[in-house]
């Protein structure tokens, strides 16, 4: 069963999750409730050209995506150890979370898991401080995101 390119709808409550970041620390969506908006970026695979390019663009303009009011969380179905090497190699200063086991559970909860490929689709969800999805877009596996689109959505919160 392949997932459509829709994902969860704007106005939906974002599913709670707790995943390990690249350092093995637990990161939960609920830990930001009431204090920060969250930009959840699903990437298909670490170390691939498009995914690396997207996260490097965020790294290079991090203050537009992560500040006192907003937290960036990147998620893929790769293992914590892969995420650690990926984040260290590229110098990411935001959590890179492992949706590894149960494999793709968070991507499935957000309705963007691609069963045929075993990875998350390229989904972006902006979640407000109350846990509601305020903006969402899901791109195909090879279709890069437009950072300007979700920078504008963050600014509108």
Known catalytic residues are 51
Q: 118: phi > 0 → left, psi -120 to 50 → alpha, else beta; which?
A: left
User: Strand pairing of 70-76 and 18-20?
Assistant: unpaired
Q: Are 110 and 100 in contact (CB under 8 A)?
A: no
Beginning with the edge strand found earlier in the chain, give each strand of the sheet holding 122-127 in spatial order. Answer: 26-28, 18-20, 96-98, 70-76, 37-42, 122-127, 133-139
Give the span between the Cα atoms of 17 and 8, in whole angstroms: 15
């Amino acid at each position: 069963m392949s997932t459509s390119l829709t994902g969860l709808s704007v106005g939906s409550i974002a599913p709670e999750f707790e995943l390990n970041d690249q350092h093995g620390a637990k990161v939960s969506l609920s830990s930001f409730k009431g204090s920060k908006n969250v930009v959840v970026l699903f990437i298909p695979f670490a170390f691939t050209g498009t995914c690396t390019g997207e996260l490097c663009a965020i790294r290079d303009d991090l203050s537009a995506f992560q500040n006192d009011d907003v937290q960036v969380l990147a998620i893929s179905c790769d293992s914590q150890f892969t995420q650690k090497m990926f984040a260290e190699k590229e110098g990411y200063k935001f959590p890179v979370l492992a949706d590894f086991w149960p494999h793709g559970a968070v991507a499935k909860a957000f309705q963007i898991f691609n069963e045929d490929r075993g990875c998350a689709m390229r989904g972006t969800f902006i979640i407000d401080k109350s846990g509601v999805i305020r903006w969402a877009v899901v791109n195909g596996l090879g279709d890069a995101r437009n950072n300007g689109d979700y920078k504008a959505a963050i600014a509108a919160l």
